[in-house]
Amino acid sequence: MEGTTWRSMMGKFATGVTVITTLDEEGQPIGMTANAFTSLSLEPSLLIICLDKGSSTLVSLLATRKFTVNFLADTQEDLSRCFARKSETDKFAEIDYREGKLGLPILGGCLASVECSLADTLDGGDHLILVGQGEFLYESATQLSPLLFYQGKYRALQALEV
């Protein structure tokens, strides 16, 4: 099947948007936007992220064997776009973040963040499938809505009536 046809079909599935963060070889924060993410197991607490094999963030993540998944709020489209850039400029220069318990960058203003240790890797074509063991959770104290990605565009949930 042609790649563009596959991408178009996969775009019909709405996903949340995350930024994966870790540290580079010099201990500096590095990260990238990713929407290939899912929960895997409750016991133990496992999740999956899938990163392009050519990603510099992947190289650093494999070296440190730890990473953070930051779940973006619908007000953070600019942050997602910043971390989606391929350039090696310092993406952390003008953003709000702090150091988590594993020493990893935790982005400010997110719905939640989870610091993980790398539990396993699996081949996934042009991506590597990474299984993370959840170590430390951080949740927003305020009620936020998620940033979504659907059919190649950022979206937000409409207000739900309860």
Beta bridge partners of 38: 48
Structural domain containing residue 52: 3-150
Answer whether residue 155 is part of any domain: no
**Is 136 within a domain?**
yes
Task: Please indicate, yes or no, if residue 161 is contained in any of the structural domains.
Answer: no
What is residue 19's predicted lDDT score, i.e. its pLDDT?
Answer: 97
Q: What is the mean pLDDT of residues 15-22?
A: 94
3-state secondary structure 45-105: CEEEEEEECCCHHHHHHHHHCEEEEEECECCCHHHHHHHHCCCCCCCCCCCCEEECCCCCE
Domain count, the chain: 1
The answer to whether the predicted template modeling score (pTM) of the entire model surpasses 0.85 is yes
DSSP character at residue 81: H
pLDDT of residue 77: 96
**Within a domain: residue 115?**
yes
Task: Please check whether residue 157 lies inside any domain of the structure.
Answer: no
pLDDT tens for each residue of 36-62? 999 999 999 999 999 999 998 999 999
Is pLDDT larger for residue 88 or for residue 89?
89
In a domain, 131, yes or no: yes
70-79 confidence digits (pLDDT tens): 999 999 999 9
* DSSP-based three-state secondary structure for 113: strand
Whichever domain contains 142, its CATH number is: 2.30.110.10
